[in-house]
Structure 1
């Protein structure tokens, strides 16, 4: 049976243990709970961002004003001015010509909530961080790391505006796909960094499991394949691939389009969707085999439980992906995206529990 004995480590984040003598365990629980809340908020943000993207509402606010932009239009004149700005961009002129103010508000509010949620996350990170630093609940090295994440959150806001601004070009009705991918993976980095930090704060000492190094390497490969599949998903979202699904036209039916891959893997909706499907299948096989391997190896309870979670989530993810594509429903597509983040978090949890694995 594997050994569950915990020994010290020299991991860079090992020094996140809060000070406070006999209260240090309570401090770890408090600080980690706060970080888990932040990770949850990022997950919700992914859902909000996915909806604004798929519904086309992301271009409804024409300015990025971190402070002034906190106030929505409060009068008829203010609404008319915001709506008039929207009428100047190609999305309105090509897709929504003749839309009334009520229709515009349906586009405006999801994007406004999305941006306000981002500001709220910044406050939830910065204000407790200052309080915890002043009261000595966390060490200086962790304060610096979390302050860096706060700054990166600001950069993520800039990347978001960089993405949105690409949709204002004279020939465009949507944002540039590669900028969408950049924005999404910026969010994934922040989610992963916050979640990993929360886990290490909660339990700094890794467990030295015997004969689990191979399983750890397998988990690392599965994590990499999952990231590739998620990147493919952002490309599909970037072209609104869900609207291009057609069995009759060989788009999204799970078969390679004519001439693929010689004709190119990013040259048509059919090729892009098929490429994402290939990456998704590879990731699913890797994760399911990881679950089976953990069970057959009689992995320790924490590792086994994480493996069962990711196995269940990857099956759900596959079902959601097929359902979203066939039905064309935006809401299912958003749930598919959010479940992908949960799945990534599950694989990350497994990597965390295997970080002290020995050959």
Structure 2
């Protein structure tokens, strides 16, 4: 066997090893993404059922074990009875009724703890066995650190409703959801970068920037939705396309300073969320038209069609949720599709950037 043949065999072996490692990491990140998806949905159900304040203490380790006896349930219920939500809204609640909201919050916290294990242990294994490419080690470690910070943000959110408010702060709720979505988006981005990509040329030189802008708009729209949820703004003005009898309702900026209405006035917050939806839909429509015009038949154009279909479906679900005054099942579907769109938008954007190079070393003669 010549030296050239041996080199070719070594390259083929290294290629197969790298592909096996990438496939294993993709599967792991896929499990992480699915678990995050479930976590966000349970969190949404926790908010919609007003269950988020049912556990009034932060016990990162001991809190894994739920109440197992009547005495423990009574103790948890007594702790809940101390907070304003019980004293002002739920004074007639029984222990059995308390259990129904407790389990939502417990499940949310249990999933949050589980995602830490699901992410950290495989990351350590892949890192120590050399299956994580060097370029990805610190990005993945940063995602893990952001997940740990998210745990603190979650408790910071819950604590806002334990002393004065009867629900959590909409500001902290929005921060909590956005960080969860950032972790979700980062995992999708890395997972997609480890997958084979098409060699189709982008429809235009600005297609990647357009896809990035759409991904940002999706995340911003989710942020606006969190403000709507935090203020229960979807429970009023349940008409469409008119809102309070007009396309642009009156009295959007009654409070002073004017900008506080964007965060604390339910009417204004819902109107801005509607406008954000219109803007996102128009941006995705324009992106699809351009992609089909300048890249007909390409994978990029086909993805733009799917993205437009998802956003249109989401708009219909959002309108239905509003008109029906936020039923739990439809509201959770609305949140689920929002996450699906975010994931697809990130994968679409990544499709223009391309997969991670096969080698981390620069090719000869290139910087």
Q: TM-score, normalised by structure 1?
A: 0.87
Gaps of 5+ in 2: 1-12, 356-367
Contact 1:246–1:253 (Cα < 8 Å) also in 2:
no
Contact 2:153–2:176 (Cα < 8 Å) also in 1:
yes
Contact 1:226–1:344 (Cα < 8 Å) also in 2:
yes
Contact 1:52–1:110 (Cα < 8 Å) also in 2:
yes
Deviation at 1:129, TM superposition (A): 1.4
Contact 1:244–1:251 (Cα < 8 Å) also in 2:
no
Name 1:237's counterpart in structure 2.
Answer: 229
Name 1:226's counterpart in structure 2.
Answer: 218
Q: What is the rounded CA distance, in whole Å, between the counterparts of 1:221 and 1:149 in structure 2?
A: 22
1:221/1:150 CA distance change after superposition, 3 Å: closer
1:21/1:352 CA distance change after superposition, 3 Å: closer
Q: What is the rounded CA distance, in whole Å, between the counterparts of 1:105 and 1:210 in structure 2?
A: 54
Higher RCO by CA contacts (8 Å cutoff, separation 6 or greater)? 1
SS of aligned partner of 2:68: coil
Contact 2:203–2:291 (Cα < 8 Å) also in 1:
no
Q: What is the rounded CA distance, in whole Å, between the counterparts of 1:231 and 1:174 in structure 2?
A: 18
Contact 1:320–1:332 (Cα < 8 Å) also in 2:
yes
Tell me the alpha carbon deviations over residues 243-277 of structure 1, each in whole angstroms, 9 at most, x when there is no partner.
223459x8566732213457644353222211110
Q: TM-score, normalised by structure 2?
A: 0.85
Contact 1:83–1:104 (Cα < 8 Å) also in 2:
yes
Q: Does 1:269 align with 2:242?
A: no
1:161/1:321 CA distance change after superposition, 3 Å: same
How many residue pairs match? The answer is 336
Q: Which protein is bigger by CA-based radius of gyration?
A: 2
Name 2:350's counterpart in structure 1.
Answer: 352
Tell me the alpha carbon deviations over residues 198-250 of structure 1, each in whole angstroms, 9 at most, x when there is no partner.
111234x78472553222222223223323322211111110112223459x8
SS of aligned partner of 1:167: coil
Deviation at 1:20, TM superposition (A): 5.2
Q: Does 1:293 align with 2:285?
A: no
Gaps of 5+ in 1: 1-18
State how 1:1-359 maps to structure 2 within 5 Å. Answer: 22-170=16-164, 172-203=165-196, 207=199, 209=201, 211-247=203-239, 255-260=247-252, 264=258, 265-266=261-262, 268-299=265-296, 301-328=298-325, 329-355=327-353
Q: Which moved more, 1:223-232 or 1:88-97?
A: 223-232
Q: What is the rounded CA distance, in whole Å, between the counterparts of 1:73 and 1:344 in structure 2?
A: 37
